[in-house]
């Protein structure tokens, strides 16, 4: 901070530019305007009230600091001097917008008032001087509408309803067709409405309007949708918003006036060409709200070639200055271009990658910048599926492809329905004529969004792109009937609860669930990832249980398998009977006999995976699940036996069921998660691990015989005590020696353990005596550390915990730094103290989560392992962690 506390931080754009203020003081919007002033671009006159003032306001229990009003007036007087217009002067009236602007982008979340300074006198004056009564009263009603809603708290829909009524009465198809006298009537009606609802008149003194507006903008920092947005995007509550007072320019003045938004590059594809849309005879709100469908920016080239040329030139200058793609707002007043905003443009994953890679070749940024600039979560979008293009399914409708990825789900129309469906694990598509900021919860809860109105920069489009959700907007053939809970395309009716599929990459909408295909990585993604590979220290592995997934993981760049689960090898339909017989055996001999029957199948499974990875390390986890998981469930058997008992049917059948029930009861557990499973089963039933190990070593030694390279790691789950690992390791070593003796071929292998109980982490120094490697099983480790059973917690109270901020994140998604990661750090340190070359990785789901990967990098893991589809994300996240680590190291020197 360059400011002294107590000084009233209210600056003209020019002064702010000279003082070199940054985004944290000016907010995003103010900063963009001030930087454009610095570059000499055409920006209206303006004043910025810094975020510090907002914080003072709240610290002051919601009142302006002493001298605040005077200072504001002083700065407005400077604006008047510069523009030659005067606030409240009917002859040369200065109108201003009062705009919010936080340091972090929160599009549409906070309030803005346009055309402030409008009074009865000013309206008359404008009508006289511009000789356009229609423009004067359209502008007045716009002021009343926003001021009434934002400042006087009148329900916005009442204003719209009044306009609709007038249009209906006069047959006007759009705002443009509403006449001057009709607008004049509407102005009277709006004033009456505000008086009726709020008990007060809209003040006719412009300064009074201004202070009320500033207060309302400050207050909007804490409105519910802004709070919700900050929760989702993890923005601190303490930041506050700046307020910009900007001279109005009028896109609604005449036919040579317009307003629009444009990106310096295509935010959907990343192509290097101006991209955007505009509305003639409109003000900014009309574009963003998606009320009228705007024209593509290319049309502007013909309509206003000079303004268009100016915009193209400005786009290039802004990119050169900010070194990133910009999202601009502009207004053309009588053919003259005015810049109203510039900010870093939100973009799709594809665009993010392409822009980043292109900018490196253009010499604008370095490789490390490119890597830092792509959100790993965004990259993940590129790995979303799309509707299989080979399928010849006819779409029900086609809209504007607004956010890529394909999604299927049940149709919902209300946010609450999306939320409750998500809680019960059901996928939904939120369908709406258009979305508004208050729909953020519904969007977050659904798989995708479909709207019948709006363009690529409409609310739905911007928000879903940020969240990486599929979105189709402006599908105009769709008629949404919210009241009846259905939508129609011609004669086809789709009701709430019906399943639809949307493809945000193509804009297609389908009825029912449509086949999708897996994504492939584009050359630019591969370029970016190859840069990432050169920078990251963490190795990336994948979790895969079969040859197909192993091959897919390699294709995505996995450098090994970090977790092969062996449960499915027992539980798949062709083996379940044998596995059950094994479990139900009453003697070890019987069990061993059944295991012998299973062994050849297990061996083939292992061969397939090892072959697919051909020399890359493969970590095979021996059986982890409790044995009862392979048996019929109690809640099926119990009623069945009860029913048979009443019916006194086939006695033999009943007896068999009863025996089975008896055994299932015997094996059932109160808390299976912490019961007889993992290495504990091997302690009581060593023959189980023997059989698995034998199958693994036979597979490996046959492959070695065939010339396939094998890098084998055998992992023991659920270890809580070093002696368990020692005993399990002895079983594995014995089978390895036995296989070597029989085949005459030595297979090199490592034995290690999942660190997934807190005690394994706490006693890692001892555990490492028997471990060649550790792999953190952070799913179970998180459960035990919190004593939260994931099965019971996620459905029941995790949502409540997150919304009440009892936890900042779902710890099953992002590693808990204070608890779980602390344990991990201790384990890494103690383990390596015992054994300096201990290899340490992670194979819980956190291994694919970017923020968790950063933690893994920081605490010195050797690798992360995640699902095959997350491998590219992990490669990028690992590189970002390395870049960040380097920056921190160099800044702390």
Quick one: which of 7, 800, 889, 893 contacts a copy of itself (CB under 8 A)?
800
Q: How far is the CB of 58 from a copy of itself (least distance, A)?
A: 22
Q: Which of 471, 594, 628, 843 is catalytic?
A: 843
- Residue nearer to a copy of itself on the CB measure, 423 or 614: 423
Q: How far is the CB of 444 from a copy of itself (least distance, A)?
A: 21
Q: How far is the CB of 508 from a copy of itself (least distance, A)?
A: 40
DSSP string, 195-225: HHHHSSPPPS-HHHHHHHHHHHHHHHTTSHH
Of 841, 864, 871, nearest to 554 by C-alpha is 871
726 CB contacts (<8 Å, ≥6 apart)?
A: 769, 770
Both tokens assigned to 446: 């659904």
* H-helix segments, 374-479: 376-382, 415-423, 440-445, 459-467
Q: Rule CB under 8 A: say whether 587 interacts with a copy of itself.
A: no
Q: Site map for a copy of itself, 324-353, x if CB under 8 A?
A: ------------------------------
655 CB contacts (<8 Å, ≥6 apart)?
A: none
- Please say if 843 is a catalytic residue: yes
User: What are 658-662's contacts with CB under 8 Å, separation 24+?
Assistant: 660/584, 660/631, 660/632, 661/634, 661/637
Q: Rule CB under 8 A: say whether 718 interacts with a copy of itself.
A: yes
The Cα 503–Cα 470 span in angstroms is 7
φ, ψ at 369 (rounded to 5°): -65, -45
The Cα 215–Cα 239 span in angstroms is 16
Q: How far is the CB of 673 from a copy of itself (least distance, A)?
A: 4
Instruction: Name the 3-class secondary structure at 329.
Output: strand
Q: Rule CB under 8 A: say whether 801 interacts with a copy of itself.
A: yes
Strand-pair category, 448-451 with 470-473: parallel
- Residue nearer to a copy of itself on the CB measure, 785 or 814: 785
- Residue nearer to a copy of itself on the CB measure, 306 or 791: 791
- Residue nearer to a copy of itself on the CB measure, 606 or 770: 770
Q: How far is the CB of 822 from a copy of itself (least distance, A)?
A: 5
User: Which runs of E-coded beta strand occur in 237-304?
Assistant: 242-247, 258-263, 275-280, 295-296
Q: Rule CB under 8 A: say whether 756 interacts with a copy of itself.
A: yes
Quick one: which of 55, 227, 256, 676 contacts a copy of itself (CB under 8 A)?
676
Strand-pair category, 295-296 with 326-333: unpaired
Q: Rule CB under 8 A: say whether 766 interacts with a copy of itself.
A: yes
- Residue nearer to a copy of itself on the CB measure, 518 or 791: 791
Quick one: which of 424, 586, 684, 890 contacts a copy of itself (CB under 8 A)?
684
The Cα 339–Cα 337 span in angstroms is 7
Instruction: Name the 3-class secondary structure at 48.
Output: strand
User: Which runs of E-coded beta strand occur in 595-696?
Assistant: 617-621
Judge whether 777 and 820 are in contact, CB under 8 Å.
Answer: no
Ranges within 807-836 binding a copy of itself (CB under 8 A): 807, 816, 818-820, 822-823
Judge whether 486 and 449 are in contact, CB under 8 Å.
Answer: no
- Residue nearer to a copy of itself on the CB measure, 112 or 785: 785
> What order do you get walking across the sheet with 397-398 strand by strand?
397-398, 508-511, 499-503, 406-412, 428-432, 448-451, 470-473, 400-403
User: Can you name the residues that pair with 488 across neighbouring β-strands?
Assistant: 479, 493
DSSP string, 854-889: HHHHHTT-SEEEE-GGGHHHHHHHHHHHHHHHHHHH
Q: How far is the CB of 630 from a copy of itself (least distance, A)?
A: 16
Q: How far is the CB of 499 from a copy of itself (least distance, A)?
A: 26
Quick one: which of 222, 233, 366, 797 contacts a copy of itself (CB under 8 A)?
797
- Residue nearer to a copy of itself on the CB measure, 589 or 635: 635
Q: Rule CB under 8 A: say whether 784 interacts with a copy of itself.
A: yes
How far is CA 666 from each of CA 64, 589, 669, rounded to the nearest angstrom?
Answer: 71, 20, 8
Size, binding site for a copy of itself by CB under 8 A: 60
Q: Which of the stretches 271-279, 692-700, 704-712, 759-767 binds a copy of itself when contact is defined by CB under 8 A?
A: 759-767
Q: Rule CB under 8 A: say whether 109 interacts with a copy of itself.
A: no
Q: Rule CB under 8 A: say whether 758 interacts with a copy of itself.
A: yes
Quick one: which of 615, 792, 833, 887 contacts a copy of itself (CB under 8 A)?
792
> What order do you get walking across the sheet with 275-280 strand by strand?
295-296, 275-280, 258-263, 326-333, 336-344
Quick one: which of 578, 601, 727, 740 contacts a copy of itself (CB under 8 A)?
727
The Cα 375–Cα 879 span in angstroms is 12
Q: Which of the stretches 178-186, 589-597, 639-647, 691-699 binds a copy of itself when contact is defined by CB under 8 A?
A: 639-647
- Please say if 459 is a catalytic residue: yes
Q: Rule CB under 8 A: say whether 762 interacts with a copy of itself.
A: yes
- Residue nearer to a copy of itself on the CB measure, 215 or 726: 726
Quick one: which of 428, 785, 814, 880 contacts a copy of itself (CB under 8 A)?
785
Q: Rule CB under 8 A: say whether 806 interacts with a copy of itself.
A: yes
CB neighbourhood size of 555 (10 A): 13
- Helices 206-220/133-150 angle, 10° precision: 50
Q: Rule CB under 8 A: say whether 641 interacts with a copy of itself.
A: yes
Q: Which of the stretches 41-49, 404-412, 701-709, 805-813 binds a copy of itself when contact is defined by CB under 8 A?
A: 805-813
The Cα 456–Cα 676 span in angstroms is 55
Quick one: which of 647, 652, 889, 893 contacts a copy of itself (CB under 8 A)?
647
CA gyration radius, the chain: 33
Q: How far is the CB of 695 from a copy of itself (least distance, A)?
A: 25
Q: Site map for a copy of itself, 594-633, x if CB under 8 A?
A: ----------------------------------------
Quick one: which of 789, 810, 834, 858 contacts a copy of itself (CB under 8 A)?
789
Q: Which of the stretches 87-95, 293-301, 592-600, 644-652 binds a copy of itself when contact is defined by CB under 8 A?
A: 644-652
Ranges within 149-208 binding a copy of itself (CB under 8 A): none
- Residue nearer to a copy of itself on the CB measure, 386 or 785: 785
Q: How far is the CB of 102 from a copy of itself (least distance, A)?
A: 25
Q: Rule CB under 8 A: say whether 651 interacts with a copy of itself.
A: no
Quick one: which of 780, 849, 854, 862 contacts a copy of itself (CB under 8 A)?
780
- Residue nearer to a copy of itself on the CB measure, 498 or 794: 794
Quick one: which of 804, 890, 891, 892 contacts a copy of itself (CB under 8 A)?
804
Both tokens assigned to 843: 């194979």
Judge whether 287 and 371 are in contact, CB under 8 Å.
Answer: no
Judge whether 859 and 823 are in contact, CB under 8 Å.
Answer: no
Q: Rule CB under 8 A: say whether 646 interacts with a copy of itself.
A: yes
The Cα 2–Cα 10 span in angstroms is 14
The Cα 888–Cα 881 span in angstroms is 10
Q: How far is the CB of 681 from a copy of itself (least distance, A)?
A: 9
Quick one: which of 38, 82, 759, 884 contacts a copy of itself (CB under 8 A)?
759
The Cα 340–Cα 519 span in angstroms is 39
Q: Which of 459, 594, 685, 857 is catalytic?
A: 459
Site residues, a copy of itself (CB under 8 A): 634-635, 638-643, 645-647, 669-676, 680, 683-684, 718, 720-721, 723-724, 727, 756-759, 762-763, 766, 780, 783-789, 791-793, 796-797, 800-801, 804-807, 816, 818-820, 822-823
Q: Which residues are catalytic?
A: 459, 843
């Amino acid at each position: 901070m360059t400011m002294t506390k107590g000084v009233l931080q209210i600056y003209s754009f020019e002064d702010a530019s000279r003082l070199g203020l940054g985004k944290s003081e000016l907010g995003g919007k103010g900063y963009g305007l001030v930087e454009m002033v610095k570059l000499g671009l055409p920006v209206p006159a303006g004043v910025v009230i810094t975020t510090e003032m907002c914080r003072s306001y709240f610290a002051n229990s919601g009142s302006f600091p002493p001298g605040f009003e005077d200072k504001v007036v002083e700065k407005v007087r400077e604006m008047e001097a510069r523009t030659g217009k005067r606030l409240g002067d009917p002859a040369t009236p200065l109108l201003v917008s009062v705009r919010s602007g936080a340091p972090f982008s929160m599009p549409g979340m906070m309030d803005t008032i346009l055309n402030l300074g409008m009074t009865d006198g000013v309206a008359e004056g404008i009508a006289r001087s511009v000789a356009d009564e229609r423009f004067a009263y359209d502008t007045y009603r716009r002021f009343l509408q926003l001021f009434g809603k934002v400042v006087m708290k009148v329900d916005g829909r009442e204003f719209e309803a009044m306009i609709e009524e007038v249009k209906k009465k006069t047959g006007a198809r759009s705002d443009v067709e509403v006449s001057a006298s009709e607008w004049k009537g509407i102005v009277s009606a709006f004033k009456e409405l505000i008086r009726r609802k709020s008990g007060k008149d809209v003040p006719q003194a412009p300064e009074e309007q201004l202070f009320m507006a500033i207060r309302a903008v400050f207050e909007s920092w804490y409105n519910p949708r802004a709070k919700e947005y900050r929760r989702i995007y993890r923005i601190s509550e303490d930041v506050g918003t700046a307020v910009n007072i900007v001279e109005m320019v009028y896109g609604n003045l005449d036919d040579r006036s317009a307003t629009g938004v444009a990106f310096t590059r295509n935010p959907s594809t990343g192509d290097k060409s101006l991209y955007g849309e505009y509305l003639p005879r409109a003000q900014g709100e009309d574009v963003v709200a998606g009320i009228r469908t705007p024209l593509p920016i290319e049309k502007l080239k013909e309509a206003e070639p000079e303004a268009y040329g100016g915009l193209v030139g400005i786009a290039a200058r802004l990119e050169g200055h900010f070194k990133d793609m910009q999202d601009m707002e502009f207004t053309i007043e009588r053919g003259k271009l005015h810049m109203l905003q510039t900010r870093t443009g939100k973009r799709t994953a594809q665009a993010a990658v392409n822009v980043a890679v292109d900018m490196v070749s253009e010499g604008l940024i370095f490789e490390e910048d490119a890597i830092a600039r792509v959100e790993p979560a965004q990259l993940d979008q590129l790995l979303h599926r799309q509707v299989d293009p080979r399928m010849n399914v006819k779409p029900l409708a086609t809209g504007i492809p607004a956010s890529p990825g394909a999604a299927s789900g049940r149709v919902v129309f209300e946010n609450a329905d999306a939320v409750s469906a998500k809680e019960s694990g059901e996928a939904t598509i939120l369908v709406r004529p258009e979305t508004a900021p208050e729909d953020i919860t519904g969007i977050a809860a659904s798989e995708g969004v479909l709207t019948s109105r709006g363009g690529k920069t409409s609310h739905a489009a911007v928000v879903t792109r940020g969240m990486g959700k599929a979105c189709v907007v402006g599908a105009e053939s769709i008629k949404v009937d919210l009241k009846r809970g259905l939508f129609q395309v011609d004669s086809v009716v789709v009701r709430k609860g019906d399943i639809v599929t949307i493809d945000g990459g193509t804009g297609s909408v389908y009825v029912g669930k449509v086949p999708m295909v897996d994504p492939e990585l584009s050359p630019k993604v591969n370029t970016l990832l190859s840069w990432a590979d050169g920078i990251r220290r963490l190795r990336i592995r994948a979790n895969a249980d079969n040859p197909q997934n192993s091959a897919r993981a390699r294709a995505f760049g996995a450098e090994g398998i970090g977790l092969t689960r062996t449960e499915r090898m027992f539980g798949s339909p062709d083996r379940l009977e044998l596995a059950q017989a094994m479990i139900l055996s009453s003697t070890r001999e019987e069990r061993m006999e059944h295991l012998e029957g299973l062994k050849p199948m297990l061996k083939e499974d292992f061969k397939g995976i090892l072959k697919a990875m051909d020399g890359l390390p493969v970590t095979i986890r021996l059986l982890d699940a409790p044995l009862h998981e392979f048996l019929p469930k109690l809640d099926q058997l119990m009623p069945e036996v009860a029913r048979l008992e009443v019916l006194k049917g086939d006695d033999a059948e009943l007896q068999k069921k009863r025996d089975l029930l008896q055994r299932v009861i015997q094996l059932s557990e109160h808390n299976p998660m912490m019961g007889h499973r993992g290495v504990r089963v091997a302690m009581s039933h060593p023959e189980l691990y023997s059989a698995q190990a034998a199958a693994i070593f036979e597979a490996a030694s046959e492959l070695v015989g065939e010339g396939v390279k094998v890098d084998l790691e055998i992992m023991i789950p659920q270890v809580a005590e070093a002696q368990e690992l020692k005993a399990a390791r002895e079983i594995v070593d014995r089978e390895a020696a036995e296989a070597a003796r029989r085949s005459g071929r030595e297979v090199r292998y490592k034995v290690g353990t999942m660190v997934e109980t807190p005690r394994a982490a706490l006693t890692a120094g001892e555990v490492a005596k028997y471990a060649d490697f550790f792999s953190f099983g952070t799913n179970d480790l998180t459960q035990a550390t919190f004593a939260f059973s994931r099965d019971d917690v996620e459905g029941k109270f995790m949502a409540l915990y997150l919304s009440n901020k009892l936890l900042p994140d779902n710890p099953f998604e992002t590693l808990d730094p204070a608890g779980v990661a602390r344990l991990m750090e201790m384990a890494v340190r103690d383990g390596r103290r015992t054994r300096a070359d201990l290899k340490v990785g992670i194979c819980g789901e956190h291994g694919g989560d970017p923020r968790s990967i950063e933690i893994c990098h920081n605490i010195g893991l050797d690798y992360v392992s995640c699902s095959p589809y997350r491998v590219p994300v992990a490669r990028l996240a690992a590189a970002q962690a390395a870049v960040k680590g380097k920056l921190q190291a160099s800044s702390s020197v």
